[in-house]
Each structure stands twice: as C-alpha cells, then as structure tokens.
Amino acid sequence: MDDFKEAIIKFLKKETNLENVELEIPPNPEMGDYAFPCFVLAKEWKKSPNEIAQELGKKFKPNDFVAEVKIIGPYLNFFIDKNKIAEKTIKDVLKQKDKYGSANIGKNKKIILEHTSINPNASPHVGRARNAFIGDSMVRILRFQGYKVEVHYFVNDVGKQIAMLVLGAEGKKNVSFDNLLGIYIEINKRIEENPDLEKEVLGLLNKLEKGDKATKNKFEKIVKTCVNGQIKILSELGIKYDFFDYESKYLRNKKTQETLKRLEKTGKLFIDGFNRWVMDQKGYELGMKIPVLVLTRGDGTSLYPLRDIAYNLDKIKKGENIVVLGEDQKLYQEQIAAVLKELELKPPRVVHYSFVLLQDGKMSTRKGNLVLLEDFMKEAVNKAREELRKRYNKVDEKAAKIIAYGAVKYGILRVSPEKNVIFDWQQALSFEGETAPYIQYAYARISSILKKAKKINPKADLKLLKEKEEMELVKLLSNFPDTISKSANQLKPHLIANYLYSLAQKFNEYYHIHQILKAEPKTRDARLLLISAIKQTTKNGLNLLGIDVLGRM
RNA sequence: GGGCCAGUAGCUCAGCUUGGAUAUAUCAAUACCAAAAAGAGCGAUAGCCUUCUAAGCUAUAGGUCCGGGGUUCGAAUCCUCGCUGGCCCGCCA
C-alpha cells in the first residue's frame, strides 16, 4: 500500500508546497481510497476549499499507482490502481505465507517479557488470565516482528499469602491443587475472625526468612503444587514460559544487599524512624501522600520492593524489558521506574490491564467470588462439543478444544486492556458474532472451497477481481502488515483481534454475494487466489492471538 | 483528601494517541420542500438452506458519544469544571 500512498503524497507536495500532507480514508470506499481535505489550504490561498479541490484535481494525471481522482466538495479523492494493488497484495501474501504481515524491525533486539506472575495461592480466575493472554499474545506478536523474546514468570513464593496457605494446610494430608482455593478462602475467613492467627502467619514468614528448613520445605511443597497446577492450565491453552524466576532466590542472597549499596550512591536512601531503609522519591510526581518506597523492615530483612528491584536489575542486564501487570500495580510500578531512573537505567514498558468484574461485584480469590479459568474452559469445551454434535455424528475432541479455547481467548483479547470488562456467562460462551469461532468458521469455509477446487492456478489473472467486495478484501489484506506493526509498537493485541473480525465479516459478505467455484473459469481462478490469501492472513493473525484454525468445523 | 484509568444503542464493545464529508467567507427579497448529520456484535422484529458448511447472510427498530463550559472553519476525539464506576496512596506482595 505504501507505494500507492507515496505517489499521492508526492503529487500533493509538488502542487501545494505543504511540508506535511495528511491523507484520510474516505468514509465510504466508493468515494475513493485516499482523500485529501482542502480545508488547510483555504486560508493561505484565500479560496474556498471546493475551488481548491477543483483546481488541484485538474492538475492530476493518472500514473502507475493512482488511476483517477474525483472531487467531492472540498475533498480530493484518489482512486488507486485496482489491478496493481490486487496483484501486489495477493502475490505478497501467497509468497510470504506464514510470514505475511511480519517485519524484521526487531532483528538482533532482545526483549525480556514478564507476564502472568500470578500469586501461587490458587487456581487462576479469568481476571488473572487476562494477564497471561495479553502477555502471550504480545510474545507472539513481537517474535513475529523479529524480536528475540524471552518469557519470564516471576513466582511470588515467599509472600504472606503463601504463608497463609501453609498455615491453612497445616495438618491436612495430600493437599492437591484443587484443594488450594478452598483452603485459601477458609484461612482468610479464620484470620478475619481471629486476628491472632495473623501473628502465626508472620511467625511462619519469619522462620522462613531465618532459613528454617522445615518451614522452607512446607513453603516449597505448597508452591510447587500450586505453580504446577497453574502451569498445567496455561499450557493447555498453549501459553509457555522460558524461565520461572523465584522470588525466594532474592530473599537471602547477596543481591538485595548489593542493590541497597547501589541505591545508597544515589543519595536518596535513608533510614527512617523505624530503622527501615527507605527510598526518598520526591520530585517524581507520584500520586501519593508521602513519596517514599520502603525497602526493608526494621530488623533489616527485605521487603518485596527491594527484592523486586534486585530482580529488575537482573532482567535489565539481559535486554529491553516489558511486563504485563494489573492496574493495581500502576503506582507501584511508577515507583519502581523512579528507582531505576535514579540508577540511570531504562524502566520496563508496562502494559496495565483493568480487572474483570462480575455482574454482582468484583472478583476476589480471597472471598471466593470468582470464575475460575479452568471452569470457563470446561464450559466452553462442553458448548463446543454440543455444537459439533449438532453437525456431526462423532465429536472431534481436538476440534472442540480449538473452538472453545479460541472463544475463551478471543473474548478477552478483543477488548482493549484498560477497560473493565464485565464477565457474563452467556456472552462469554457465545460462538456467534464477534467471536473466535466466527473467524475460524470463515477460515473453514475457505478451506472447504479450496479443497473442492482441487487445482489452483497460481498464475491466474488477478485483473479479473473487479467486484466491489473483492477490492475491499484486497485493501483489508494490504492493511494487515500495518495493523501488526501498530499492534506491536503500542503493545495492543486487540487491534489484531478487531482486524481479523472485520476480515472474516467482509469475507462472509463476499461469500454470500459471489460464487467462487461456479464462476466463469478465469474469474474462478483469480477468486481462488484471493480467498487463499484471506485464509493465509487469517491464520497468521489468529496465530498471533494464540488461536488455532480448523480446516473443517 | 490526592493520583491514574474508564464512561459511546437495552447489554458487551470498536473508533480517541494523528479533530474532518459539505464548513467558512461572499453573494442571495422571502417562504416552503428535499437531502445530509456516529460503527460492530449480542438481544428484539421480519426474511434467506434442492445453490462453494445457516457457528452464516439480508433488512428494520434502537444514540443528548456521561453532563456543563471552552478551543476550532469543524469535537466522540483536544482543554477545563463536574458526575458515575474501577484501581491505587502499608514493617502486603
């Protein structure tokens, strides 16, 4: 598409002497492919924009890329050469195949991407899954753009929450992953009723920090149970990690001491009235009453922020950092960024997502008011089976999972991360409209046509693609690389999700209006190439969301 | 109390970073008429399967783009004051 746009800009620059020419896309494709609004010139030229448009229009001569210009009121509407763009785009897609849409801008650049990092206290709920889905999709997108991405999961294995879980599991035999949520809810309730138990929790933490072996084993056992359970669920969804970094590693090793020494050199570190090491953060416009970050307890043991800074220092050594975190971490993350700036280091780019709400309030692991990701997955698979049973005698389990997991992921990924989403079972389990199954269905339809076509002529004459819908499809296909790079630069997977839906929608519309297999032979050949390109692009895009395709459904 | 984010159709959301689809100025005696003035999905209503898979398509209804003020030729988009919802301001992580 670039060549086409450039040709227009070149023409306009020459005729108007403007330094920056901004082109727009007309609201309706019948009005043109690109438009130049003449309002900007009205003051300077002392003419009405309509007159200016007329004048400029007369100066235009068709060239290799731009076929004609139409003047509609104050707008100069350019029509690009349809044959050229169809040929170029479709050939690009079919030549580059799985690479279509990718760029090599990340070549030789390393990115350390941390995501998920759920507290190892229970099975993840759908709110937390948002982190993993966004993170995993970003990993895929950035790798597609050529970056070398290392995926990290930070396991908060030494927290108060784990201590609570250890206390709750005391005396219980064979604690399994499925028991954890119940234990966690119960112990929270018990502590609420009996605040003395809180002291026991802190006691456990204290023992752990002093290196008490029995305590350490208890913690490790329960964390292992939990992390394994979480990983199993996430890996079922195709989400993988390269490294699991345990917070406990930073509990007693020298790194926290080294970090303190490094921070001391900034002159912002001081010991407060409680004998704690504290970082002064004045001058960073942090939205808090007293801008400080407390790094240790009075007894010198480390607090989470210190361990986290040490962890960040380790990660920064390896490459550029990106991390996916809930909106509750926003201020804290600004504080961490401020600390890293003091050390003249580049803070991580952070993608914050808002929480998933239930219709009757917030989701909370502590209160047990939640929808577990695994339950959501199960329900979705059941629904997919049901749908498959309607169509076939035998249910293909693999297909059911592909459809169900696609729907689960897409439902979360299609929304921009900063939005609070309200989880609604009926809507979440819908396989119609703007959903993954809709997109997968378009893909399956194309596959089916191509299968029936048997032979495809790769040299078909693409000039025969003259229909309005065909042009719109070609243009959408040509926009795919731009969508990917925008999504990569802004770290926004939902742009790809929205794009894929509009492509599938456009295809379905086309499918209903025009015959492909029964078209006149030469046109048929050209159309087969067009839909092959749509199929390829859809596959590439879904893959970036971590969603699989089906040849039949 | 302070900070950050969101508010678009009954419901769930795109669009907002980068303002744009008939303005301004001038002319014109008036009146009238016509046209234009936001996109999906779900849900609702009415249709479409001897035709490449109906998980699909078509049509209709549904809007003070949270409210007021401002900037601009032009505002869902920018600024400002409010309102509502979410998140945050710990010897928790």
- Please report, rounded to whole angstroms, the spatial distance between the CA atom of protein residue A519 and the C1' atom of nucleotide B53: 19
Which residue ranges of chain A lie beneath pLDDT 70? 1-2, 17-22, 43-44
**DSSP for residue A103:** -
- Please report, rounded to whole angstroms, the spatial distance between the CA atom of protein residue A185 and the C1' atom of nucleotide B37: 55
* H-assigned helices in A392-456: 397-413, 425-428, 436-453
- Please report, rounded to whole angstroms, the spatial distance between the CA atom of protein residue A433 and the C1' atom of nucleotide B63: 21
Minimum CA–C1' distance nucleotide for A492: B17
CA dist list (Å): A392 to A54, A387, A389, A395, A552 = 61, 9, 5, 7, 11
- Please report, rounded to whole angstroms, the spatial distance between the CA atom of protein residue A215 and the C1' atom of nucleotide B6: 44
- Please report, rounded to whole angstroms, the spatial distance between the CA atom of protein residue A538 and the C1' atom of nucleotide B81: 47
A221-236 burial code (b ≥16 CB/10 A, e <16): ebbebbbebbbebbee
- Please report, rounded to whole angstroms, the spatial distance between the CA atom of protein residue A529 and the C1' atom of nucleotide B56: 22
- The pair of three-digit structure tokens given for residue A172, joined into one six-digit string: 């219980």
- Please report, rounded to whole angstroms, the spatial distance between the CA atom of protein residue A146 and the C1' atom of nucleotide B88: 36
Minimum CA–C1' distance nucleotide for A301: B91
Minimum CA–C1' distance nucleotide for A329: B88
Minimum CA–C1' distance nucleotide for A73: B22
Pick the CATH number of A2-80 from 3.40.630.10, 3.30.1360.70, 3.20.20.140, 3.60.20.10: 3.30.1360.70
Closest residue by C-alpha to C1' distance, nucleotide B26: A48
- Please report, rounded to whole angstroms, the spatial distance between the CA atom of protein residue A500 and the C1' atom of nucleotide B43: 24
Q: What's the pLDDT at A192? A: 85
Q: Which fold has domain A374-544?
A: Isoleucyl-tRNA Synthetase; Domain 1 (1.10.730)
- Please report, rounded to whole angstroms, the spatial distance between the CA atom of protein residue A68 and the C1' atom of nucleotide B85: 50
Map out the domains of chain A as residue ranges.
2-80, 110-252+311-362, 374-544
Minimum CA–C1' distance nucleotide for A513: B57
Amino acid at A170: E
- Please report, rounded to whole angstroms, the spatial distance between the CA atom of protein residue A359 and the C1' atom of nucleotide B86: 13
Minimum CA–C1' distance nucleotide for A418: B5
Minimum CA–C1' distance nucleotide for A274: B91
Minimum CA–C1' distance nucleotide for A357: B86
CA dist., res. A235 & res. A303, Å (int): 31
Closest residue by C-alpha to C1' distance, nucleotide B40: A434
- The pair of three-digit structure tokens given for residue A291, joined into one six-digit string: 């801008």
Closest residue by C-alpha to C1' distance, nucleotide B87: A328
* A135 Cβ contact partners less than 8 Å away, ≥ 6 residues apart: A113, A114, A115, A116, A151, A239, A324, A351
CA dist., res. A536 & res. A259, Å (int): 49
Minimum CA–C1' distance nucleotide for A390: B55
Closest residue by C-alpha to C1' distance, nucleotide B7: A419
CA dist list (Å): A237 to A83, A125, A281 = 42, 14, 41
Q: What's the pLDDT at A260? A: 96
Tell me the percentage of chain A whose pLDDT exceeds 90.
72
ipTM: 0.89
The residue whose two tokens read 């064979």 is A174
- Please report, rounded to whole angstroms, the spatial distance between the CA atom of protein residue A365 and the C1' atom of nucleotide B84: 26
- Please report, rounded to whole angstroms, the spatial distance between the CA atom of protein residue A112 and the C1' atom of nucleotide B2: 34
Closest residue by C-alpha to C1' distance, nucleotide B73: A39
Closest residue by C-alpha to C1' distance, nucleotide B5: A418
Q: Judging by beta carbons within 10 Å of its beta carbon (0-12, 13-18, 19+), is residue A11 exposed, middle or buried? A: buried
Closest residue by C-alpha to C1' distance, nucleotide B6: A419
CA dist., res. A436 & res. A455, Å (int): 29
**DSSP for residue A29:** G
What's the predicted TM-score (pTM) here? 0.92
CA dist., res. A126 & res. A132, Å (int): 10
Q: Which fold has domain A110-252+311-362?
A: Rossmann fold (3.40.50)
Minimum CA–C1' distance nucleotide for A304: B93
Rounded-to-5 percentages of helix, strand, coil across chain A: 55, 15, 30
- Please report, rounded to whole angstroms, the spatial distance between the CA atom of protein residue A41 and the C1' atom of nucleotide B29: 34
Strand B positions within 7 A of protein Cβ atoms: 1-7, 11-15, 17, 20-25, 39-43, 51-58, 73, 85-93
Task: Give me the phi and psi of A536, to 5 degrees please.
Answer: -60, -45
Task: Give me the phi and psi of A470, to 5 degrees please.
Answer: -70, -40
